[in-house]
Structure 1
Amino acid sequence: MYYDQEISSVFEKLRTSEKGLDSREVEKRLEEYGKNELKEKEKVPIFRLLLSQFKSILIAILIIASIVSAILGEAIDAVVILFTVFLAGILGFVQEYRAEKAIELLKSLTSPEAVVIRNGAEKKIPSTELVPGDILLLQTGDRIPADARLIKEYNIKVDESSLTGESVPVQKTPDALPADTPEADRKNMVYAGTAVAYGRGKAVVTTTGMKTSFGELAGLLGTIERSRTPLQESLDKFGRWIGAATLVIVAFVAVLGVFSGFPPIDMFLWGVALAVAAIPEALPAVVTVGLGLGVRRMVKRHALIRKLPSVETLGATDIICTDKTGTLTQNKMTVEGIYVNGTVLKVTGVGYNPEGKFLKGSSEKGDSEKGDSEVPEDDKNLRVLLLGAALCNDSNLYKEEDRWKITGDPTEAALVVAAAKAGLEKSELDQKYPRLAEIPFSSESKRMTTFNKLEDGPGDFLDSELVAFSKGAPEVILGSCTKILLNGEIKDLTPEQKQEISEQVKELANQALRVMALSFRPFDEGFSPEKVSSGEIPAEKVEEDMVFSGLIGMRDPPREEAKAAIKTCEDAGIKTVMITGDHKVTAAAIARELGILKENDLTLTGSELDSLDESEFEARVEKVSVYARVYPAHKLRVVKALKKKGYVVAMTGDGVNDAPALKAADMGIAMGITGTDVSKEASSMILTDDNFASIVSAVEEGRNIFKNIKNFITYGLTAHIGEVLIVLIVILGWQILPLLAVQILWINLITDGLPPMALSVEPPDRGLMKQKPRNVEEGLITRREIVAGLGLGGLIASQALILLVWSLDNGFSISKLQTMVFTLVVFSEMFNAFNWRSDKYSVFSLGLFTNKALVYAVLTTVVLQLMVVYVPFLQFAFRTVPLSLSEWGVILALASTTLISMEIIKYLNSRKSADQKEYV
């Protein structure tokens, strides 16, 4: 794969040279390899997307019911059923219209033009015309248009965060690497879609189009099918349950009636009435609207839902797989520790804001700053260290619209910010102490050295007018030093001091800090820096006998809210797993600090993951809390393995590298600010504030939404069971129809309409986030719902039978009897609506008016029912007659027992729970 071969071998294999390809060879290769572009998958036509909204079992049953109603002449019933079905479908279609654009957005990340060498001359061409073997010229700011092997570099650094998730630009080298080098560490390769952050270079194109790293991502996205959400599965399961129950009931009534001597046609009509009573016509629309209301609430909590059924998936989430950079951390390199003058200092302040203190005290993480003494800005040793950090530096810090921003490498910028905290502004220093020459950083030297004129300089700090400042890898800098700055004086560096410094490097590294060492060397007046630039004086001659000035440790710090959010997730039974492109030691240290990595948890790298077969990995996957140095295929493999184990998996991320796993996860969560468009389009949810802590709010909202859906479905189930029992018992016992089909449909529409929507905005119960994730296998209808439905449904049926007997004893007409039963069921369900604000807590402990939407919904429903009973043209449509005050008194007395009985049950259950806790 070219990275493990010498450049001459790469040229030979690709049949090219530094002069590039000629035009004839380019044409041949374009025919052979095709254009350097990403192929789009076939788009789903709009009409197919719309039709897909009507595939559920419940929708199919409702459509059949509407057809049967139309055949039997019940046109109003048929129209109303079809309207509810159409409404649910349109709402779902609107939400999913823009769901599949990931590959189009991948195309926008590729460079439109490229500079190449062809026939020995530089030429700018469209990037689509690149072919393997082209010689590519790269410079700062360029977006790399294809995968390529570096053949020359001039201090080139590439920002690969969009591909690997690593926040620090990668220093590249043209040297051949060992064959077993992991993909993330192949520093002689540059990849399509990444960008040159610093320097320049020359590379030979190795792969183009769909065979590049970005192309493979596009291929992964195209083959991944988004799995159905638990809610979709539950609704289908509920639909099948309702459908089967309906068929059984209809068949039972029809057969029993015919054997009892009733006419077959009458039995068929009664069967249809029962089917209408059993089927919750408005359920799809109500669930959709309920989810929509939940989406609006989640936006206020910084979570934007892209697909409605995904709202409740978070509530069932068992594991959150999260990227580190920019998600758990701030994506801003920050100096946190300094070793100078034999002492460790803590540096306060986060990000690029140059405000902070230098504190002398305990270096242990998490220690309070109480008791730490502040080091003054004019401390000689600290000032020399930070002066070198700012002058031997090509980054800058500036303020724009009240926000501090940087240019250049983030690691170098962190040094500039630290110097600014001590009052050393880089822009002023560059003018005051001009750079006369430099030895640039290279992958071989692992250091950078500048020569600065200090004619009007720091006086007693450094007496010389010309000083060389170096920064780089600790082992390189320390190896070049023979002296050390201690207490403002230059002294000989002893072996013991070197050992102490080396130990301190390890200590800082173990704290997940990236460590950089700094040194300086004063020169005599006669020294000529220009001779260094021209090569007359070798670099190694001037980068020796240096004076060690100190160590600086920096990192991308965790978000302040992340630790508390992870703890809340843990309390809620949700495991957090870090998946990052960063190094193992850094990732493990951050994970341990955040509470992700526990004592017996495992950490795996991408290479270690590759060495495991599927069975070995599946045996370990539940124990792994951190994955480091991974690539897209690894992330996807982790998500798939966890899902195979039966877990509901959420994946957070912001880069292109996260897109396949985001799409494959049950819940893909993209970052709204730093996230790429590709990751957003592949996700189910977007965090608008990029804050991991917002996931906790979203989880709580998701759990509450599902709780509310179950409650209002249970509420509706009692009405449907009650109606079925009333019709079934009265038909078989009295041979009369207690409710007409249009009345049953009206009951279903108004009881399954406004009250459930009001119930969907019920706030979370106390302790909701202390519960474990729900079992997705249990579905919407469990033993709890069946018992509640049968119990309260049976109670409503008993109320109707009492009313029936009382009406018959008083010689009421069939129309009045039907009106009274009709009204009783509606009012009983209004009392029942207050029951299902919570299945645990009394409505009086919650407060009658804490859910004002429900109060308004019940009052509106009552007014509508009064209109049906008393408005003449509605009386005609619904076959109703006016009721007297005494009749209303009987109806309300019976209906109120629905609320009273449930309050008694809740009270007894609360007493039982209290007794159990006291016993324990």
Structure 2
Amino acid sequence: MINEREVQSGLTQAEADRRLKKYGPNLLEKKKKISPLTIFLSQFNDFITWVLIGATIISGFMGEKADAVTIIIIIVMNSVLGFIQEFKTEKSLEALKNMASPTSKVIRNGKLKIVNAQDLVIGDLIVIESGDKIPADCMITESSNLMIDESLLTGESAGVSKSIQKKENSIYMGTIVLTGNAKAKVTGTGMETEMGKIAGMLQSIEKDTSPLKEKLNNLGKILVVLCLIVCAVVTIAGIMRGENKYEMFLLGVSLAVAAIPESLTAIVTVALALGVSRMLKRNALIRKLPAVETLGCTSIICSDKTGTLTENKMTVKAMYSNGRTYNLDRESVPENAMLKKIFTYCNDCNVDTDKKNVSESLIGDPTETALIKVYFRDGKTLKNFLGRARRVYDIPFDSDRKMMSVIVKEGSKEISYVKGAPEKLIRKCKYILDRGNVRILTSNERNNIVKAIENMSFNALRCIAGAYKEKNLTRGKSLEDNLIFVGIAGIIDPPRKEVKDAVLKCKMAGIKPVMITGDHKNTAFAIGYDLGICKTQDQVITGDDLDKLTDKQLEKTVDKKVIFARVTPKHKLRIVRAFKSKNKVVAMTGDGVNDAPAVKEADIGICMGISGTDVTKEAASMVLLDDNFTTIVSAVEEGRVIYDNIRKFIRYLLSCNLGEVLTMFLASAFNLAIPLLPIQILMVNLATDGLPAIALGVDPPEGDIMAEKPRIKNESIFARGLTEKILVRGALIGTCTIFSFVVAQYLGFGLKTARTMALATLVMSQLIHVFECRSENHSIFQINLFSNKYLLGAIAASICMILAIVYIPFLQNVFHTSAMNLIQWGIVIFFSGIIALINSLYLYFK
């Protein structure tokens, strides 16, 4: 049974908290999360790791207990490192999912507020409008032209009309509001909803997978095969030279563990997750992980004007009434009782009657609130004015009509008020209200109105026209025919100050900023010119002009346009497709339900976090939490940084692993003694692979990253010479290690010391190479070596490891090393650094 007080003012917060505690959150049951233990055990789920564990256990039984225990410890340490990476990544991604969880507008304590949808309880009074996803099962208590898409439940694609007068006045969780608005009382939450009954169907939702990760997985499989072949050659060659079969088998397996870049995709995931977290701090919420890669390719940013390029702080600056324009900076608001009624009654603002100040009492679209604030200064006066009338019917605003109409009952009399885009509304007007008299609207007066609109729009004012009707108030679209024109409000929405710099940064980065707006072309041009988006009127095109062009004609002309004015969401879709046909990577913003197709079609679909509808958020790859254009540019920059960092650690890992494989292969090819023992190879893997690679994944951006042109979307991760860099540097690391080993033997330092020097050379050359990997275009002398504190920490940890196994007696016995003197260290440093020095000098002078 409906509680009348609850229908009017909703639940109290205390009662909502009590019911939430009693019935639980409004959530469907989900699959159980992967436990930390499962994540840890999965680190061992690798064939070669199991072979190595088995081999070391056998070596333990054969008397090599110290080696066996140490190798097992190293494997466990590697697994712990992998576990920490994966566990943190899962936590980060889970936190991001929670950030992206839906919200709902609810009335509590008589006030409209936005809450997390999972906090809704039975009895809550929610407010829904076009584009919203219904958060729970509800019963309608008040509605206007409500149409619901119930295809998720019924399979029927046609919308279903709902109202309190109809027998079927229930609405269900997960369905979508197509048109209209309503208030509804929650009757079921969580698993008690209709959706909850079929929740099992929703448990197979696939996770977003990064295309880059898939490519690297495939690359990893190829590298595994190649590494196993090389390891087999090294093992067989050693056995043929008369080496111990068991030791050579263990050596081969150890080399395979060190050489195979098993952490490659894991570190990509870490880099993506950390990058997404950094974007979140800059107010960009990534909903689909593949978007992170695509962001760096963005060449076109199509942005809405209002709230994104502008502050969305609306103020009425001018009014046209009774045949003249009033400048409100110098003049008072013109006396026009009918225009005041139109802008106040034909308005979807919610009013908090407890607030005295009007600015604090109004909740709603900034345009709507501005039209009320121009007439009222205190909440009491506004409350009294609203109390004189009651809305009995409305036709909500939509982007095609660009109008909103209401029928209001004042006493016993009904009257219709209409507001909307002037050029649309003026076509519907047959009459004009002139100083209290209604007469036929003449063509001369139409021309005067058009001139007034143009003058306002040239001053960057957004124009809203008002009209009314007293007779033939039939329900339906004919309500908007034969209207009486009353006047126009000119609203200023100043550009965001920071956007001008963001536009300039876009142009420097080879990215074309494009403004898309429903405003008049003159208003759009004035804002665009101020922000540096456009220079001439020729760069502006209107929706009417677009309608005259075929898709082929639009494709030919789209590159010449940077402002699209008076467009509809349908135009947005054509614009996206036209740019994509020119092989551009397009980012497109949107907020309304009709924007969803264009947002989904774009390479990077962006939804407004503040004003965006649920439908558009679901279609989007990214949500702007502050609705700011600058945030888009920041996200593009972050996307470039993430991609560059992935290239950095791929370069580092593969070069180092190649160096390790070549060290052993060259020794085998030239019939040399084994330069590194199995336990030493595993130590190199532990000391150099994990921490430095992860640290490269969070490397700060190079200063000129936004001075480069966007990369090609389908560019290989190994493009622009990365393959050559990996092969050459890997070969040099292996060659220098072998030279260090051979020189040590030539100077008579003994096999143990020679192996120690080879081990130190391999580690130090990789740690020096990690600095080279920080930039593809600049030498070590041109970058700030101390800007990545995580990398410095990782290198310090690696150096401590190598010093420990060289100088601590117990570890010397375990790793079969010997202490080195200054001459030996000099040889190690020479072979470790000579190639890096030559390469850096080459880049510096280049």
TM-score per shorter chain, which class?
0.5 to 0.7
2:449 aligned with 1:502 = yes
Task: Give the Cα separation in 2 of the matches to 1:591 and 1:65.
Answer: 62
Displacement, 1:808? 1.3
Say if 1:270 and 1:428 are closer, same or farther in 2 by CA, change over 3 A: closer
Matches within 5 A, 1:248-327: 248-253=229-234, 268-305=249-286, 311-318=292-299, 320=301, 327=308
Spell out, residue by residue over 1:523-577, the C-alpha distance to the aligned partner (whole angstroms, 9 max, x if none). Answer: xxxxxxxxx99x9xxxxxxxx999x874323487765555654554454344567
TM-score, with length taken from structure 1: 0.62
Displacement, 1:384? 7.9
2:326 aligned with 1:375 = no
Count of aligned pairs between the two proteins:
728
Task: Give the Cα separation in 2 of the matches to 1:223 and 1:641.
Answer: 35
Matches within 5 A, 1:54-93: 63-73=46-56, 75-76=72-73, 78-93=75-90
Query: What is the match of residue 703 of structure 1?
Result: 640
Task: Give the Cα separation in 1 of the matches to 2:527 and 2:204.
Answer: 32
TM-score, with length taken from structure 2: 0.67
Matches within 5 A, 1:33-432: 46-47=33-34, 63-73=46-56, 75-76=72-73, 78-97=75-94, 138-139=142-143, 147-149=159-161, 190=180, 194-195=181-182, 228-253=209-234, 268-305=249-286, 311-318=292-299, 320=301, 327=308, 334-335=315-316, 337-340=318-321, 344=325, 358=328, 374-377=329-332, 381=334, 404-406=360-362, 413-419=369-375, 427-428=380-381
2:452 aligned with 1:515 = no
SS in 1 for 2:489: strand
Displacement, 1:491? 13
Matches within 5 A, 1:761-800: 761-782=698-719, 784-800=721-737
SS in 2 for 1:195: strand
Task: Give the Cα separation in 2 of the matches to 1:390 and 1:438.
Answer: 15
Matches within 5 A, 1:284-683: 284-305=265-286, 311-318=292-299, 320=301, 327=308, 334-335=315-316, 337-340=318-321, 344=325, 358=328, 374-377=329-332, 381=334, 404-406=360-362, 413-419=369-375, 427-428=380-381, 475=426, 479-481=430-432, 483-484=434-435, 498-504=445-451, 507=454, 513-517=462-466, 550-554=487-491, 561-562=498-499, 565-566=502-503, 568-574=505-511, 595=533, 599=539, 629-630=568-569, 650=587, 652-653=589-590, 669-675=606-612
Say if 1:409 and 1:270 are closer, same or farther in 2 by CA, change over 3 A: closer
Between the two proteins, what is the percent identity of the paired residues? 34
Larger mean CA deviation between 594-603 and 406-415 belongs to: 594-603
Contact 1:518 1:551 in 2 (8 A): no
Query: What is the match of residue 822 of structure 2?
Result: 885
Task: Give the Cα separation in 1 of the matches to 2:483 and 2:278.
Answer: 65
What stretches of structure 1 of length at least 5 have no aligned partner? 1-38, 116-125, 131-135, 154-161, 166-183, 198-207, 211-217, 347-357, 359-373, 453-467, 521-531, 536-543, 910-920
Task: Give the Cα separation in 1 of the matches to 2:542 and 2:243.
Answer: 71
Spell out, residue by residue over 1:159-207, the C-alpha distance to the aligned partner (whole angstroms, 9 max, x if none). Answer: xxx9999xxxxxxxxxxxxxxxxxx8xxxx64xxx4369xxxxxxxxxx
Spell out, residue by residue over 1:494-521, the C-alpha distance to the aligned partner (whole angstroms, 9 max, x if none). Answer: 957514433236636897844324799x
Contact 1:329 1:556 in 2 (8 A): yes
Spell out, residue by residue over 1:843-890, the C-alpha distance to the aligned partner (whole angstroms, 9 max, x if none). Answer: 333334333443333333222221111122322332211112221222
Say if 1:517 and 1:269 are closer, same or farther in 2 by CA, change over 3 A: closer
What stretches of structure 2 of length at least 5 have no aligned partner? 1-25, 57-70, 105-116, 126-134, 151-158, 166-173, 185-192, 396-402, 474-481
Compare CA radii of gyration and give the structure with the larger one: 1
Displacement, 1:904? 0.8
Task: Give the Cα separation in 1 of the matches to 2:431 and 2:840.
Answer: 81
Contact 2:142 2:183 in 1 (8 A): yes
Code of the aligned partner of 1:63 = D
Larger mean CA deviation between 44-53 and 222-231 belongs to: 44-53
Say if 1:67 and 1:471 are closer, same or farther in 2 by CA, change over 3 A: closer
Contact 2:806 2:819 in 1 (8 A): yes
Spell out, residue by residue over 1:42-66, the C-alpha distance to the aligned partner (whole angstroms, 9 max, x if none). Answer: 95554599999999xxx99x82221
Spell out, residue by residue over 1:249-277, the C-alpha distance to the aligned partner (whole angstroms, 9 max, x if none). Answer: 23544566677787876664454344234
Code of the aligned partner of 1:515 = I
Task: Give the Cα separation in 2 of the matches to 1:426 and 1:477.
Answer: 34
Task: Give the Cα separation in 1 of the matches to 2:304 and 2:194.
Answer: 27
Displacement, 1:93? 3.4
Give the counterpart of 2:802 among 860, 865, 878: 865
Task: Give the Cα separation in 1 of the matches to 2:286 and 2:483.
Answer: 61
Query: What is the match of residue 756 of structure 1?
Result: 693
Say if 1:401 and 1:875 are closer, same or farther in 2 by CA, change over 3 A: farther
Code of the aligned partner of 1:90 = F
Query: What is the match of residue 155 of structure 2?
Result: none
Spell out, residue by residue over 1:414-467, the C-alpha distance to the aligned partner (whole angstroms, 9 max, x if none). Answer: 3222335xxx66754887x99988998977996889999xxxxxxxxxxxxxxx
Contact 2:339 2:486 in 1 (8 A): no
Code of the aligned partner of 2:744 = S
Query: What is the match of residue 908 of structure 1?
Result: 845
SS in 1 for 2:142: strand
Contact 1:743 1:822 in 2 (8 A): yes
Displacement, 1:820? 0.9
Task: Give the Cα separation in 2 of the matches to 1:145 and 1:782.
Answer: 46
Contact 1:321 1:576 in 2 (8 A): yes
Displacement, 1:480? 3.9
Displacement, 1:765? 1.7
Code of the aligned partner of 2:91 = V
Query: What is the match of residue 203 of structure 1?
Result: none
Task: Give the Cα separation in 1 of the matches to 2:344 and 2:576.
Answer: 46
Give the counterpart of 2:777 among 840, 843, 855: 840
Task: Give the Cα separation in 1 of the matches to 2:273 and 2:207.
Answer: 21
Contact 2:295 2:639 in 1 (8 A): yes
RMSD: 6.1
Say if 1:430 and 1:603 are closer, same or farther in 2 by CA, change over 3 A: closer
Spell out, residue by residue over 1:300-353, the C-alpha distance to the aligned partner (whole angstroms, 9 max, x if none). Answer: 32234567775444223455566666555666665354335765456xxxxxxx
Task: Give the Cα separation in 1 of the matches to 2:545 and 2:236.
Answer: 66
Task: Give the Cα separation in 2 of the matches to 1:550 and 1:329.
Answer: 25
Task: Give the Cα separation in 2 of the matches to 1:236 and 1:563.
Answer: 42
